[in-house]
Amino acid sequence: MIKKLLGLSPNPTGDGAFSPSNLSLKLATSDTTDYTPIHFSHPNKDKHLKILAMCTEQSQLPTTNGKKFSTGNHPVETLVPMLHLKNAGFDFDIFTPTGKQVKIEMWAMPKKDKNVMAIYEEYKNQFEHPKSLADFVKNNFNNNQDYIAIYFPGGHGALLGLPHDKNVGELIKWAFKKNLFHLSICHGPAALLSAKPANDEEPFIYSGYKIAAFPDKVDRQTPLIGYMPGQLTWFFGEQLKKLGVIIINSKADKTCFADRKLITGASPKAANGFGELAATTLLEYLKNQ
């Protein structure tokens, strides 16, 4: 009762899960974003050169007390970077593991941000009817030349399925071998775990890389204000560190970082800077080819 009065109780969603508490929504979400359009003097002109966006198709994240968090891909972390990359001349192919609809944390949608809502509407059909990664890996893997980068948006939904999906692991290793860029923000880097080697004798392809990512210690704190209904059952940062990945930030802040062709951002606060860094880095790469 006290939690309800203080706005600390997670909100039931009607499907057996919980969305963030009213207090969490006030503290962690906004109707607008800090998206700042920039002019790219030499945008990409090759319309065949796209970005493969790998999204989640799952939405109910288990916690240690048995309650489930209603999640998906975070709309700010998904759409603000897309705005920058789109302005830089890059289109997207939206994928989920099996082609089921992309799950988005609609409770975090910045509905008064005209730019964000415009690109959401532009790609809404793809979000609702994405391509299947399983089909892509099976049928188009070896011959495809259309992508410059793979992109893993954040949101706790990135913890569902992607870190343990064999096809996601094959996608990441394929992109690494083809020297594609890997763009990932917030919880998105959890997908790197899918490329974990089969045994300890094999090196992890991203061992020694530095990244920005959502900190485990912040995830441990979020249930205190009702953002999640319970503690996570595992923490992706711990697992990445065991594989030799170096997480450079300790706060859920605006940190962005590029290490070789791996470009990462720490949180929703980093979405604007992450998108700008990704777009400018990709264009600089094409300029020097």
Tokens at residue 191, please? 């997908």
Is 55 among the catalytic positions? no
Residue 49 CB: number of other CB atoms within 10 A?
17
Please tell me the distance from the alpha carbon of residue 244 to that of residue 220, in angstroms, as a whole number. Answer: 22
Phi and psi at 261, nearest 5°, equal: -105, 15
Q: Which entry of 158, 186, 192, 263 is annotated as an active-site residue?
A: 186
Of the CA atoms within 13 Å of residue 139, those in its CB half-sphere come to: 6
DSSP, collapsed to helix, strand or coil, labels residue 45 as coil
DSSP per position, 195-253 = G--SSTTSPPTTTT-EE----HHHHHHGGGGTSSSS-BS--HHHHHHHTT-EE--SSSS
- Name the pairing type of β-strands 50-54 and 147-152: parallel
Q: Of 18, 34, 20, 2, whose CA–CA distance to 268 is shortest?
A: 34
Tell the residue number behind the tokens 């595992």, with chain if given.
234
Residues classed as catalytic? 186
